[in-house]
Homo-oligomer: A and B are copies of this chain.
């Protein structure tokens, strides 16, 4: 399988071949040659040799010397849901358009793993980092400043670095209101028929809960802690919560605010265990959009966070030289049931 594991050409090889010094070769190939007053013809010669020999710079060496790498990192909690995978997709497009190399890693919502992973990225002299949905953004921050790595939080805010997040309060208000209004007057939802499931004790969950409760108070004069069931971000815990509720009450609440599409998968698991009748009259509001989720057999209203907007803003902030530590809110969007939105994949040309 390995044919010619011939070593890659280096500037030294080209230096010999061209008869000029390594530094000249280097300058020519990295674009600084005009500044160094290299003759056009010399440059041309070297460039020719370079692509004759398929020269590509050793980026580790370059990075070592210049302590920059051309890498831009995105730290995700997990890959496997449409919210974060869309984020990865948008992120890649952004980074590539700036001529850098995107690298995406996940840290499984584990604070320890988050820090370790960032340490590793730093060891590769990653130039910039977007920290998405970190469980411990400030812990990550501490690691970052230790080495002066520019970074911005996204999705979940930290208190020490600039953050770009959805307006979760507003989003939750919109979503909750939409759920309530989705019921016609004769089937009007009662305050204790509207529950929030999922999430945990993070900023996003808290804000969403706050929004949920605010609207509930405003529109239905009812609100109580028992209508809130945090389950963490796992399908399994959410499923258990639904099962418990069902056992207790003999049915699901008619109005369901689900705090993330991951938790929504818990509802799927519940559904798999129960006949359709168990949830034919429910209306679900889900924070985070999933195209397939939007077309389930009952009305599913979703919130789509403006991922593009957040990423764009994050890069703007990183471009500033002394970004202020503040949290920028990006407005999310309400998605009515049965809606197939375009996503980052649509930007990709497909050669059929």
Contact = CB atoms under 8 A, between A and B. Distances in A.
Interface of A: 1-6, 8, 54, 56-61, 63-64, 69, 71, 78-82, 84-86, 88-89, 92, 101-106, 108-110, 117, 119-120, 122-125, 135, 145-148, 160-162, 200, 230-237, 262, 264-265, 268-269, 271-272, 290-297, 322-325, 338-340, 342-346, 348-352
Contact of A60 (B69, B145, B343, B345): B69
A103 B106 CA distance: 9
8 contacts: A1-B323, A8-B146, A54-B146, A56-B119, A58-B64, A64-B64, A80-B86, A81-B345
Contact of A237 (B5, B338, B352): B352
Given A78-B345, A265-B291, 4 more contacts: A54-B146, A79-B86, A85-B85, A234-B350
B146 A6 contact: yes
A325 to B, nearest CB: 6
Nearest to A265: B291
Copies of this chain in the oligomer: 2
Contacts of A124: 59-60, 69, 71, 124
Contacts of A339: 272
A236 to B, nearest CB: 6
By CB atoms of chain B within 10 A, which of A5, A104, A234, A342 has the most? A104
A296 B297 CA distance: 6
Given A235-B345, A345-B80, A348-B109, A8 B147 contact: yes
Contact of A338 (B92, B233, B272, B342): B272
Given A59-B123, A104-B103, A147 B5 contact: yes
Interface majority SS (helix, strand, loop, mixed), chain A: loop
Closest 5 CB pairs between A and B? A232-B352, A292-B292, A5-B148, A59-B123, A234-B350
Contact of A1 (B6, B160, B265): B160
B104 A345 contact: no
A270 to B, nearest CB: 8
A231 B8 contact: no
A345 to B, nearest CB: 5
Contact of A123 (B60, B108, B262): B60
B60 A89 contact: no
A232 B292 contact: no
Contacts of A295: 268, 271, 296-297
Nearest to A161: B1
Contacts of A291: 265, 268, 292
Contacts of A122: 8, 56
Contacts of A120: 59, 101
